[in-house]
Structure formats: structure tokens, C-alpha cells
A and B are shown apart, each in its own frame.
Chain A
Amino acid sequence: MDWLIQGMLSFIGTAGFGIIFNAPKKTLFHCGLVGMIGWLIYYAFLQKGVDAVFATFAGAFLISIVAHILARQFKTPMIVFSVAGIIPLVPGGLAYNAMRTIVENDYAKSIQYSARVFIIAGAIVMGLVFAEVFMQLIFNGIRKRKAKLSKLSS
């Protein structure tokens, strides 16, 4: 039940972001799907007790991979799918706490929170980067294979 709610809400939330970012209408469903996949992976890792940094990294990595695959299918730029998907992973709660502690003049705590925000934001970024490199390697491999096969058949 919990998983169902998490999945549905992340789907609707990400599709809502698709509307805000004006994604093409026929891709809205897939935008939501990408966000849901990313969030569920993140949530699954958190439930297993894995650190939020790694969970965020895994979520962003998978979002980017699915976005790449969908982009190939739809022949649209990849960011159409990935931009809305990474929004749920943004560390809003930590950023809020960092701001709140600044207002309370508790700078030592604020720096702790801010450092955490930066590390998690960095995890999103690294997830995107790793997926990018990974997909490039795979697509290059497929292309080379296809070239080899067409050479053999001709």
C-alpha cells in the first residue's frame, strides 16, 4: 500500500512538473513514469537503510538511463524526460533546514545542513554524468556491432 501511494504520487507530481516545464503533451505520461522509477529506486534504497547520498545517486542514474532510452524511441532531446524526473530527488528538506538554522543564527548547524545539500546535489549530478557515459559506451557498442554485421552481410 505504501509503495503504491509513493509510486502514484511521484508519478502525478512529476507529470505536473512536466506541465510546468511544458513538455510535449504526448510525452507527459512518460515523464511521470521516469520520475516514478527514479523515486521508487530512491525510496527502496532508503527503506533498506542505505545512505541518502547513494540512494539519490542511484535514482538519478536510473532516471537518466530511462530518459536516454525514451529519447531514442521518441526521437526527441533527452532532457525532455530527465528534467522533470530529477525534481523529486532535490534535497528540499535539507535546504529548508539549512535556511531555518541560518535564520536562527545557528551557523554551525547550518553549515552541516548546507554541506549535506551540496553532497546530495552532487550525487544527482554524478548520477546524470555516470548514466551519460554509460549510455554513450553502450550506444557506441551497438553502432559498431551493427556496422560489423552490415559489413559481413554485404
Chain B
Amino acid sequence: MIETTQEELAIDCFLLAGRMLIQSGAETYRAEDTMLRMASSQGLTDAQSFVTPTGIIFSAGHKRPTRIAQISSRTTDLEKIALINSVSRKLTAGVFTLEEAYEELLKIERTNLFFPIWVQVVASAIASGCFLILFNGTWIDVPFAVIIGGIGYLIFLAMHSLTKVKFFAEFTGSLFVGLLSVLVIKVGWGYQLDKIVIGSVMPLVPGLPIANAVRDLMAGHFVSGVAKGMEALLTAFAIGAGIALALSF
């Protein structure tokens, strides 16, 4: 049996892991599973956890306090998910002690694992160009899709860090993609408006919520599954509204 302070450290550690998993965009069932595995490896076998995309309730069992962790923002950070997963694996395998695992998790929380902004923008620009061709576009339009895709994603990132409202950022990003594409066509440089728009708007597509919603629904987490599905739908709606507004000019 662990001591009281040790116990508190353990619960802190599990909550931190669960919170960071959800914040990085992991599936709900993975967060629950990770927390319970870590708990049972530390002797808290009757622990229970209830995870939703906006908060975690974790109870360590008899007489021990039930704790809540609030989650206000979610991004897509696959590397963080993989790192937390490996910490939890090491803890359950006995490679890490509880203190080491907690230290490691704190270190993961502090470090920014994202690629530099310019790499992200370049990646989205290149991806836009690739998708233009994949969707039967012409090679002449590729440079426009590359530039507009990069600018659109940059505007999305800037608006997101400025306003913290994800849907608004997606809306502005796709609005600018639409406006720039219309401009390129009006000036007479580009050929196919629709292909340029589709290619350039691809970096904003909500891939993670779609994939997660399915896996959560399959695991029986209907609350999270519906919430994530709603997130994907709202994002799609924000992108569509931005494009529609740009086209109506």
C-alpha cells in the first residue's frame, strides 16, 4: 500500500497523463485506459475514471479523494500522445518509478514538441500542391495552390493564437483561401477555381476529430464520440462558410 503523500503524487501523475492525452487529441478510451493501467500498476486496483473531451473525473477508490481535471483546449499533437504512451508503458512495466514518471510527464508538458511554424506552413503549402494534382487539377495551377495553401494555414495559425477561437480561425483561414483563389482566377493566372480552392483548403480539414469520433463511438464512449463528431462537423461548417462567403463576392 502506498503512503498518503505517495498516493497524492500517484493521483496527480495519472491526472496529468490523462489531461495531456486529451489536450493532445488522443481518443477518450485511450486516456481512460492509460490512467487505469498506471493506477493498477501502483496498487490502486479499484480506481475508476470518467473522461470527456472537456474534463476528467478520477477516483482512486475507497476513502481516497475523487479528483477532477478541467480541459479547456485541445490541439493535435501526435508526438505528445506517443511520448505519454511510452511513459505509461514504462511505468506499468516497472522501468520507471512513480517519481520518475511524474518528472518525465512534467518535462513533456513543459517542452514544445511542435515543428517550427515555418516548417508547418511549408508542409501545408506542399501538401496543398500535391492534393491539387491528386484531385485532377492542372499542373499550371500548382504554384497558386502551394502559395494560397501556405498563406491560408498561416492565417489559421495566426488567428488561432490571436483569438483562441478555433472555429473562427478556421473560418478566416478558409475565407482567405477562397478570396485569394478568386483573385488569382480574376487576374487570369489560374485555370480551375474549384481545384485551387479544394487543394488549398485541405490543411484545415479536421482529420483527427473524424478518426477519434469513430474510435470513441466504437469503444462505447457515446458522450465523447458525439462531442468529437460535432467538433468535426462544426469545423467542416466553418470551412464551408468561409469558402461560401468568398465565392459570393
Contacts and interface: CB of A to CB of B under 8 A. Distances in A.
Contacts of A86: 207, 210-211
B76 to A, nearest CB: 5
Interface of B is mostly: helix
Interface of A is mostly: helix
Contact of B131 (A13, A25, A133): A13
Contacts, number: 148
A99 B123 contact: no
Contact of B123 (A20, A27, A92, A103): A20
A39 to B, nearest CB: 7
A10 B130 contact: yes
A23 interface: yes
B207 A93 contact: no
Q: How large is the interface on B (under 10, 10 to 19, 20 to 34, 35 or more residues)?
A: 35 or more
Interface in B188-216: 194, 197-198, 201-203, 205, 207-208, 210-212, 214-215
Given A88-B134, A92-B135, A93-B198, A22 B113 contact: yes
B194 A93 contact: yes
B124 A76 contact: no
B30 to A, nearest CB: 6
Given A12-B127, A16-B123, A16-B127, A92 B113 contact: no
Given A20-B127, A132-B215, A92 B205 contact: yes
A107 interface: no
Interface in B84-117: 85-86, 89, 113-115
Interface string B126-137: 110011011100
Given A20-B124, A77-B82, A98-B240, 18 more contacts: A12-B126, A13-B134, A13-B202, A18-B78, A20-B76, A22-B76, A23-B78, A23-B79, A24-B83, A27-B82, A76-B82, A77-B85, A79-B81, A79-B212, A87-B202, A93-B198, A100-B244, A128-B214
In the A-B complex, the 6 residue pairs with the closest CB atoms: A16-B127, A13-B130, A19-B123, A16-B123, A9-B130, A92-B198
Interface of B: 26-27, 30, 76-83, 85-86, 89, 113-115, 119-120, 123-124, 126-127, 130-131, 133-135, 153, 194, 197-198, 201-203, 205, 207-208, 210-212, 214-215, 218, 236, 240, 243-244, 247-248
22 contacts: A9-B131, A10-B130, A12-B127, A16-B123, A16-B124, A21-B207, A22-B113, A24-B79, A24-B82, A77-B30, A83-B78, A84-B207, A87-B202, A90-B202, A92-B205, A98-B240, A99-B247, A100-B244, A103-B247, A103-B248, A129-B214, A129-B218
